[in-house]
Structure formats: structure tokens, C-alpha cells
Amino acid sequence: MTIFLILSFNFLLFRVMPGDVTRIVIPKGADNQTIEDLREYYGLDDSKLSQYFTYLENLFFRGELGESLTVRKGSEVTSILGPYVLNTLILVGIGTIFSIWVGVILGSVTAWKRGKAVDRVGSAFFIVFYCMPTFLFGLVIITLVGRYVPEWPIKGAFGDEYWNLDILGKIGDRTLHMLLPMFALVIETIATFSIITRSSLIDVLTEDYMVTAVAKGLKGKDVLHDHAMPNAMLPVVTVIAMNVGWVMSGSIMIEIIFSYPGLGYLTWDAVWNYDYPVMQAIFMLEAVAVLIANFLADMALFKLDPRVKM
Amino acid sequence: MRTTQRLLKDQVLRTSMAVVVALLLLLSGLPVMFSGDSEAASHSTLKIGMMEPIDSLNPFIGVNDNAYIFYGLVYDYLIAVDEDLGMKPNLATSWWKVPLSDPDMQASGKPYGSVWEYNLTENAVWHDGEPFDADDVVFTIEYQIGVNYDSMWAYQPYTKFIDSVEKKDLYKVRIHFKDFAGDPAPCPFGDKLMMPIVPEHVWRDITPFDAGFTYENYWPIGTGPFMCTENTQDEFTAGEQLILLMNPDYHGAIEYGQEVQFERLILEFYLEPAAMLTDIQNGAIDLVGLSAPGFSSLIDWLEDNPTPDIGTYAGLTCTSFSVELITSMDEGATGVNPLRLDPEVRKAIAHSIDKEFIKEYIYSNYSAIGSTILSPIYGDLFWSPNATEEYEYNMTKANEILDAAGYVWNPSHTRRMAGPGNAYAVEGTPLRLNVTTEIELVEDRDTVNFLTEEWQEIGIELAPVFVSSAEWGNIVYNGVYDLAMTYWSGDPDPNYLLFVQSTNAIGGWSENQYSSPAYDENYTKSALELDPEVRKGYMFNCSKHSYMDAAFIVTVYPYGCYAWRADHFSGWGDWGAHPGRSLSSFWTANDLFFDLVPLAVKKTSLMYVFIGIGVVAAAVVAVYMFMRWRGPKEEDVRLP
């Protein structure tokens, strides 16, 4: 039902936006007959209701998302999305997993050693990189790497030889190209998970049952891992769910700075160029991703906290 | 239970460690993975950096500059452009106007110059191995004329004048030209038809409507010096780069000695200029077109780091690239300010544009001051106003014109408004004009912001409307604006650009709905006049009428700014003396690509970086093993 509502809203959203799509397809204008032909081709001369049913029919029964109007004129949206989704999943997906992993570890370390030098240095580190504009950080990386390691690729998701490489070579090529943007992404997002883990863990450590655990003579790491962390993870899981949902939307600034063609850049490009079919498809993907992520978060919370009933 | 959990945590820790180590080892092993690639890496490759991916592989659909460059590499034209912007043979080895003594001309009674004959090469082969002949030329032209004219909009400034095409033999065609009324008429640009010739066997099953609007053309087949591959579709959809291979069967090598001396040409697409600038500095790419600010940064960098390895050029583009401030002349438009139609307002506007400032500060001096749509690249066809005609920058004069036209200041002296008896609007109508501008175009945005400040001095309130390119097209082609910033580029014959301001372009290419009987009369004559000197006179008149009406004010001619790696290739030549060698000369068979010779480049590798990463990986493993060997150190439990 939710997905159906999302799809319907997605359809309506682009029908109420201003502008004549035929004028966008032909940058230098066209005569009235051509415009009429185009309207007929895109089904724009049908009623909105008829367009809506055609949209649902194409989507559910044919798996069609339409043709790009401007970004890749005439190309099937499904064929356009493929490489961009893959690039985003690799960069933002792996980057987010890495951020979560390192962020939670760093957050728990700084909480456990709160007030000590590790905590003060770690917290300052998080705040500095959390506040730093992504594009600035990306440009600094490009400039530094370009100057001191000029052979390292600073653009793109893969190199010129990619299509001629075997599978191992392709993985290696992508890894090489992915490291710089991923570094920028992880540095930016790691702070989110560290800060929330740290504050959540500090809250948990003040609970009475923690004193009980210590009084029972448990070792420090056992207290942390077995008693504190599971409870501290509840708000972290919620934040993780929100972030995982947004993985599909990519990271526009990082993708642009590193000329990494992902979904974030495609969204930006499609919005600027009024490519309704591409926008529709991306927003549908993102909505479904957020929906699935929330569902998984609910499941994880249920697992972590038995008090939560499904 | 606790033991199980403990084991689980240890397992997680070990797994995490293993992931880190695996990642580091993976990186340290990259050179080994690439070992199978050594053959490909030895190819001589020319890499061209570009700021946006091409918008279509279909030459009847794509419109961005990079798309035209791509078409010029893959497809051939009947006639190409040489390094001095003259015409040179391509698919047509020779051409002429069919003389009146020809039996067909005598029988038809058509005027001299209305029928051109082209002898075609017998050596061209399509990239898929099919032979090229006259049928392909006939098909390409018939595909775009007659009932197909509306759908095949891309080359309308040429096809509008083509009545029919006739195959005389397997390698000879005749094109019959017409005037605006459809009657046979001389065509002065029969040797400058800048449209790609496509293979009949590929396109014949594609309807003109699909060809003009939807057909992807994922594997473009041409006869040009470079070929697409089976990967082109993937490369195009990925948007990273397009890799073209040298055409070993290129007909130009046999006929004109034009042989490409490198194996691959890669169009490398960037989304942001910083990485592109860094890559030309590092030698990751060989040739790049830069914006004025980007080029300025590069020149500054070269002053600090002088090197003979990087060559540069900045000059007028072969396409006569110009930037304009246009006025919507659509008298029927609603929701816009009618005062824009007052010629006195437009004259005042023309006097209040400081083109020198725009050139110097907004374009960092990488532009020339503009006057009409035909830039000085057209040589003696470039018209410039004399001292009495020129709208020199003079705010006092602009104020005097507005005073004389009855525009009065409001009580607070912040803005003018229409005075009594204004022929265009009721008294009190404020002189407030919106100016629609594409937000992506930084220089246009800066120009508008500058003018907004400046025009306060003459009492014109300028209201910038910054929109995306798509929205700009929507607004401008529907005529719902007062002023707009735009730009134009054209082909070797001036007819292409002069057409834009003619009444014939309204409803199509015209952006400001400009219509002037005097302009039209001269334009029509120029489009049909064979005598170069007489034609030049008509063109001058067109330029003058357009300039004096001030509905199409050319601010500057931005330079094409390029940089290349002189240590990777020799043969770049002198682009200043021979502007047709620049990247903006995209009408196929650019001499540059035949003169470039790859040089031996000393390639440094990432090996030492990978070795460093390997050392780090080993150190991490060693520390981990040491920690495991030493055993856990218990922390004191310190709760708040």
C-alpha cells in the first residue's frame, strides 16, 4: 500500500511541475506540428487519468520506466540507471558500512575513555570533519593527491582500460578509483555514528544495572560489550536505518568533485534538465530503499530490545 | 552463555581485522591484477578532457558542443574545414555549381547555382565494412527534407534550402536548392553543408520521427577517422568516457594523406573543473578545453611552474561563439513589460553595457568585445560599427535618451517609469525588466549581477531570473521574458547564424521573435546571392540592422581556451595562425588529429605507493599479532 502511494505521488509530483516537456526536448524550438507529434509520442495528449494508468501498466506489467528526455535523450531509463546505481552502491554503500563500523568502534572507545586524552582528541576530530564542507575537503584531497601522487586517479569510477579487464582487474580498477571519494565520504559520515554512539553509550553507562554488573566483578570489556553496547545501539540503529535509506540517493558533492557518476549526480543532472522519467525512477528507487531500510531497522530494534513488540 | 557471547565478540573482532588486512592486501596486490592489461597500456592514446558528457550518440539529436566534436570524429561530411577555415574535400572529392549549359539545367530552366554537383570518393567504407556510395548521401538528405523536415530539426538551417537530391551515378550526386517560397534558387553555401552523412543500411528502418527525437544510435557507424566499438553503449550510459579507435580503412589516408598516427582517442568526461585542471597539469589527459576562469588558473600556475610540457591557446572559436543580451520582441506576449519594445529603451540599454568591464573582469580578458552575431573569425564578413553607429558605453547618453523619450524618475529617484503619452505602456508603468539567465553559466550570472548594479544609474530596475537550462528554454521559447542572456555558435557559412534573427526562424530557432522587414530583405538576398562581394554587402546590412535595433546585443566573443601536453604528442601546430586546428573546429577531418605524433612518455607507476600500502598492511598484522601474543590488558571499570 505504501509503495502504491509512493508511486502515485511520484506520478502526480511531476505532472504539477511547470513547463512544457516538448520545449525541453527540443532546445532550439520546434514548430507546432512537431510539438503536437511529440505530445502524442509521450502520451501527453491523453488525460491525466489515462496517463496514470499507462504509467502503472508500464511499471508493473512491462517493467518500463520510460525514456530519458534530456540526460541521455531517447535511452531507456532502466539502462541509464544501471551503471549509476552500481557506482553508488559501491561507493556510498561500502562507504556507509565502513563508516558505521569504524564510527561505532570510535564512539564506544571515546565513551569508554571519556574525559581522557583519547576522548578529547577523538571528539575534536569528529567535530572538525563533521563541520568541514564536503566540497572543500574533496578539493583539498584532489589537490594534494594530484600534486604528490600524480599517478593516482582523481576522477571517475573506473579507468580507460576497464572494459578490457578481467573480473579481478575490474575490481582492482574500481578499488583504485573508489578510494579517494570513499575516504572523503567516510571522513564526513563517520562523525555521525561516532557522536551518537558516544552520547548513547555515556547515557547507558550511568544506568544502575551497569553498577550491578561492575559489582558482580565483571571485567571492563565484558561490561562494555555484553551490557552497555546492546542498549546503547538502539538509537544508533535508527540513525543507521536513516543513513542506509539514503545510500540510494548518493552523495552529490563527492560524486561531482571526483567526477564519479553516481545516483546523486544523476539526480542533480535530471533535476536541472527536467528529465521527468529519470527523476521519477530515481525518486521511486529512493523511496523504496528508505522503506526497506526502515523495515529492517524495525526488525533490528526488535532483536536488540525484546521490549519492542512487532 | 557469556562464553558464547565472548567468543562471538572475538569472532567479530577477528573478522573486522581480517577485513582491514584484506583491503590493504587487495590494494597492495593491484599491480598484479593489472598485469593482464600491459598490452592495452602500450597503445598510443590521445585523451581529451571535457566538462560534460555528450547528450546523445545520435547526430540528429545531440546538441551540446562535445556531442558535435564526437560526431565530427566518427562521421564524415561532404566537405570538411581545413586549418585556415577554408573548405577541403572529404566524402566529396570535388564539387561545383552545375553550369547552365548542362542539358538538365536547360531542360529544367533552373537558375545558375541552384544545382550543385558532388563527386564522391570511391574509397570510403562504413565502419561496419559496408561500402559507401551515392545512395548514402541521397538517403541522408532525403531523410531530412520534405515531409521529414519538421522531425529532422537538427540541420534545418541547411535543409530548409534543399529541394531535392539526385543520384547521377554510384559516386556522383546533385543537390537542388530552393528559396523560402520553395522555388528553385541559387545557393551560395552549397560547398558548406555541415551535416554528417549517415549510412542508409543502418538508418533506413528508423522513422524520421524516431531519428529526430528518440533513437539512441548506440553503435554509431560512420566513415570518419575514428570508430566506435561494441563497448560504446556501455561507455555512453556510464558517462565516464568514450573510447574511439583509429579507423584503419579511413579514406582520407588514401586520398588526402590524412592518416591518424595514434591508436585510440578517448573523450574523458569530468563533472567538475578542478579535477580536469589537475589532470592536465599532471599529464593524465593530453588536451582539454577550459572555461576562462579555469584557463586563467592554469596560466597563473604555469607562471609559477614554467614548463615546456604544456602548450596553451586562447582565441576566438571557429564557431563564432558569442554571448548576447536579447530582448523579447513578441508583441503578443503577456505578463511581460511592454516598455521593452520601445526602441529608445533598447538604445539606452545598449549604451549602458560596459563590455570592456565584462571582457576584462568577468572573462579574465579571455574574450573579445562583441558587436554582432558574426565574430571576427569570419574575416572580412565581420561587420563592426563606425564611430557614429556605435553604442559606446556612456551612462550619461543613456540617461539623455531615456529623458528624451519621456521616462521620468519616481519621487525617490530610484527608478524610472513611463511618462505621459508613452506609446507602449500607460503612464507610470515602471521601467522594471526581468532578465532570464541560465544559472549554470557563471559568466552570464556575473554579467547580469553586474548590469543590475550598473543600471540603477539610468533608472532601469533589472530583475534577474536565474533558472536551469531546461527552464530557460521553456521561458525563452514561449516568449515570456523581457530580457534574456543567451549564446550562439554557428557553422562556417554565415547563413547559419544570420538565419537566427530572420522572421523565418520565428516558431523555431528564434529566441527573441525578432522580425524586421529590412533585415529579412537583406537576409533573403544574402541567402541566395552567389557573388561573394554582393553577398557580403547584404550580410553587412543584416549585421547593421541587428546591431542598430539593439534587440540582440552581443556582449563578448568568449575565447576558446585550450591546453595540451606537448611532452605526450608533437604536431600541435600554431592554433593562432591556423584556428581550424582547435577543438572547436569539429566539422570532421580536423588537420590536428592527422598531425599529432605520439611521443615516448616516461610513465611513472604507482608501484611505490602499493609497496607502501603493503608495508602498512604488514605492520598492522604484526601489531595485531603482538597484541594477541601479549594478551588482553584489562581496563579499570570507571562508571559515572
Q: Mind giving me the DSSP string for A196-235?
A: HHHHHHHHHHTSHHHHHHHHTT--HHHIIIIIIHHHHHHH
Does a structural domain hold residue B91?
yes
In a domain, B542, yes or no: yes
**pLDDT of B65:** 87
Distance from CA of B62 to the nearest CA of A (A): 8
In a domain, B305, yes or no: no
Q: Look at residue B498 in the predicted model and tell me its pLDDT.
A: 94
Relative orientation angle of helices B292-304 and B273-282, to the nearest 10 degrees: 30
- pLDDT at position B37 over 50: no
Distance from CA of B374 to the nearest CA of A (A): 19
**Average confidence score pLDDT of chain A:** 83
Give the whole-angstrom CA distance, residue B431 versus residue B420: 14
Which residue from A minimizes the CA distance to B505?
Answer: A29
Q: How many CB pairs under 8 A join A and B?
A: 219
Give per-residue pLDDT as tens, B491-515: 999 998 999 899 988 877 889 999 9
Q: Are residues B407 and B552 located together in one domain of the fold?
A: yes
pLDDT of residue A151: 86
Residues linked to residue B430 through DSSP beta bridges, in sequence order = B417
User: How far is it, in rounded angstroms, from Cα B563 to Cα B289?
Assistant: 7
Beta bridge partners, B246, equal B226
pLDDT band, very low/low/confident/very high, at A72 (cuts 50, 70, 90): confident
Cross-chain CB nearest to A163 (options B27, B231, B609): B231
- Region B204-222: what's the mean pLDDT? 93
The closest of A223, A190, A185 to A122, measured between CA atoms, is: A190
Query: Cα–Cα distance between B352 and B345 in angstroms, integer?
Result: 11
Domains of chain B: total: 3
Residue B116, pLDDT > 60, answer yes
- How far does B258 lie from chain A, in Å, by closest CA? 26
Q: Which pLDDT band holds residue B10 (cuts at 50, 70, 90)?
A: low
Answer whether residue A271 shows pLDDT above 90. no
Q: How confident is the model at residue A19 (pLDDT cuts 50, 70, 90)?
A: low
Distance of CA B320 to the CA centre of its chain: 11
pLDDT at B34 over 60: no
B632 class by beta-carbon count within 10 Å (0-12 exposed, 13-18 middle, 19+ buried)? exposed
Q: Does the beta-carbon distance from A273 to B468 stay under 8 Å?
A: yes
Q: Considering the domain boundaries, does residue B295 fall inside one?
A: no
Q: What is the DSSP letter of B130?
A: P
Q: How close does chain B come to A6, measured CA to CA in Å?
A: 26
Is the minimum CB–CB distance between A261 and chain B shorter than 8 Å?
yes
- Which CATH number fits the domain that encloses residue B350? 3.10.105.10
Which chain A residues contact residue B507 at CB under 8 A?
29, 31-32
CB contacts, 8 Å: A73 with chain B: 55-56, 58, 61-62, 213-214
Is B514:B476 a contact under the CB 8 Å cutoff?
A: no
Q: How much is the ipTM here?
A: 0.82
**Please, is B332 exposed, middle or buried when counting C-beta atoms within 10 Å of its C-beta (0-12, 13-18, 19+)?**
exposed
Please write the tens of the pLDDT for every residue from B165-196. Answer: 999 999 999 999 999 899 999 999 999 999 99
Domain co-membership, B104 together with B19: no
Percent of chain B with pLDDT over 90: 76
Please report which confidence band the pLDDT of residue A157 belongs to, taking 50, 70 and 90 as the band edges.
Answer: very high
Residue B607 has pLDDT above 70, yes or no: no
Q: Is the pLDDT of residue A233 over 90?
A: no
Q: Are residues B405 and B523 in the same domain?
A: yes
Is residue A267 over pLDDT 60?
yes
pLDDT at B82 over 60: yes
Q: Do B493 and B432 lie in a common domain?
A: yes
- Structural domain includes residue B276: yes
Interface list for A 162-201 with B (CB within 8 A): 163-166, 168-169, 171-173, 175-176, 179
Tell whether A116 lies on the interface with B, counting CB pairs under 8 A: no
Interface-testing mutation among A37, A64, A148, A163, with chain B (most B C-beta atoms within 10 A): A163
Q: How confident is the model at residue B639 (pLDDT cuts 50, 70, 90)?
A: low
Identify the weakest region by mean pLDDT among A217-231, B147-161, B412-426.
A217-231
| CB atoms A146 and B639 under 8 Å | no
Average pLDDT of the segment spanning B82-92: 96
Residue of A75, A76, A175 for testing the chain B interface, max B β-carbons within 10 Å: A75
Mean pLDDT throughout B279-296? 93
**What are the grid coordinates assigned to B73, written together?**
570524429
Measure CB to CB from residue B508 to each of A23, A30, A155 and give the nearest one: A30
Are residues B260 and B398 both part of a single domain? no
Contact A173 B34 (CB under 8 A): yes
Cβ atoms of B558 and B443 within 8 Å: the answer is: yes
Can you tell me the mean pLDDT for B570-583?
94
Res B208: pLDDT: 92
pLDDT at B38: 41
Average pLDDT over residues B116-138: 97
- Strand segments (E) across chain A: none
Please tell me which of A74-78, A93-97, B535-539 the model is most confident about, judged by mean pLDDT.
B535-539
Tell which residue, B51, B574, B43, B53, has the closest CA to residue B265.
Answer: B43
In a shared domain, residues B512 and B492: yes
Residue B350, C-alpha cell as written in the block: 545598449
Q: Give the range among A257-266, B131-140, B593-602, B610-619 with minimum mean pLDDT.
A: B610-619
Subunit contact B214:A67, Cβ cutoff 8 A: yes
Nearest CA in chain B to A145: B278
| Average predicted confidence (pLDDT) for chain B | 90
Q: Do residues B292 and B364 touch, judged by C-beta distance below 8 A?
A: yes
CB pair distance less than 8 Å for A169 and B37: yes
Question: Which band of pLDDT confidence, cut at 50, 70 and 90, is reported for residue B35?
Answer: very low
- B544 has a pLDDT exceeding 90: yes
Cβ-based neighbours of B1, under 8 Å, separated by 6 or more: none
Least confident stretch, B26-30, B106-110, B130-134, B253-257: B26-30
Which range has the worst mean pLDDT, A271-280, B187-196, B346-355? A271-280
B chain contacts of residue A219, beta-carbon cutoff 8 Å: 634, 637
C-alpha cell at A256: 561531482
Closest CB to A70 among B284, B470, B606: B470
pLDDT digits (tens, 9 = 90+) for A185-219: 888 888 888 888 888 888 888 888 888 888 887 77
Candidates A202, A220, A257; nearest CB to B637: A220
List of chain B residues whose C-beta atoms are within 8 Å of the C-beta of residue A112: 635
Lowest-pLDDT range of A112-126, A162-176, B75-89, B373-387: A112-126
Q: Is residue B390 part of a domain?
A: yes
Is A259 within 8 Å of B275 when comparing Cβ atoms? Answer: yes
**pLDDT at residue B40 greater than cutoff 50:** no
Per-residue pLDDT band at B36 (split at 50, 70, 90): very low
Q: Give Cα separations from B254 to A295, B90, B122, B124, B225 (angstroms).
A: 67, 12, 10, 9, 12
Distance CA A285, CA A277 (A): 12
Q: Are residues B243 and B257 in the same domain?
A: yes
Which of A134-138, B473-477, B599-603 is least confident? B599-603
User: Does one domain contain both B555 and B573?
Assistant: no
B312: pLDDT confidence band, cut at 50, 70 and 90? very high
Residues 123-142 of A with CB under 8 A from B: 139, 142
Residue B253 lies in a domain: yes
User: N- to C-terminal Cα distance for chain A?
Assistant: 19
Instruction: Please check whether residue A235 is in contact with residue A200, taking contact to mean a CB–CB distance below 8 angstroms.
Output: yes
At B52, the pLDDT band (50, 70, 90 cuts) reads confident
Say yes or no: B349 and B225 in one domain.
no
Instruction: Please determine, looking at this structure, whether the domain spanning A77-304 carries the CATH number 1.20.1560.10.
Output: no
Give the residue with greater pLDDT, B25 vs B460.
B460
Answer positive or negative: Cα dihedral of B560, B561, B566, B567. negative
Residue B189 lies in a domain: yes
Q: Is the dihedral of CA B6, B11, B14, B20 positive or negative?
A: negative
Per-residue pLDDT reduced to its tens digit, B383-399: 999 999 999 999 999 99
CB atoms within 10 A of CB B356: 11
- Both B123 and B239 in one domain: the answer is yes
Q: What is the mean pLDDT of residues A249-272?
A: 86
Residues B466 and B546 in one domain: yes
Are B474 and A171 within 8 A, CB to CB?
no
Q: Which of A14, A151, A204 should be substituted to probe chain B, the one whose Cβ sees the most B Cβ atoms within 10 Å? A: A151
pTM for the whole thing?
Answer: 0.86
B27 with B120, same domain: the answer is no
Q: Which amino acid is at B311?
A: G
Kindly state the average pLDDT of the residues B118-143: 97
Structure confidence at residue B478 as a pLDDT band (50, 70, 90): confident
Question: Is residue B111 pLDDT above 50, yes or no?
Answer: yes
Q: Smallest Cβ distance to B55: which of A73, A149, A206?
A: A73
B213, B281, B474 ranked by CB distance to A20: nearest: B474
Q: Is A265 on the interface with B (CB under 8 A)?
A: yes
Is A24 part of the contact surface with chain B (CB cutoff 8 Å)?
A: yes
- Percentage, residues of chain A above pLDDT 70: 92
Could you say which of A74, A168, A271 has the minimum Cβ distance to residue B56?
A: A74
A37 shares contact with chain B (CB less than 8 Å)? yes
Residue A73 to residue B61, Cβ atoms within 8 A: yes
* Containing structural domain, residue B613: 2-38+604-636
The residue-averaged pLDDT of B150-176 equals 93
Q: How confident is the model at residue B308 (pLDDT cuts 50, 70, 90)?
A: very high
Q: Determine the pLDDT at residue B183.
A: 96
User: Looking at residue B281, which CATH number applies to its domain?
Assistant: 3.40.190.10
**Closest CB to A223 among B63, B235, B637:** B637
Q: Where are the domains positioned within chain A?
A: 2-61, 77-304
**Residue B316 has what pLDDT?**
96
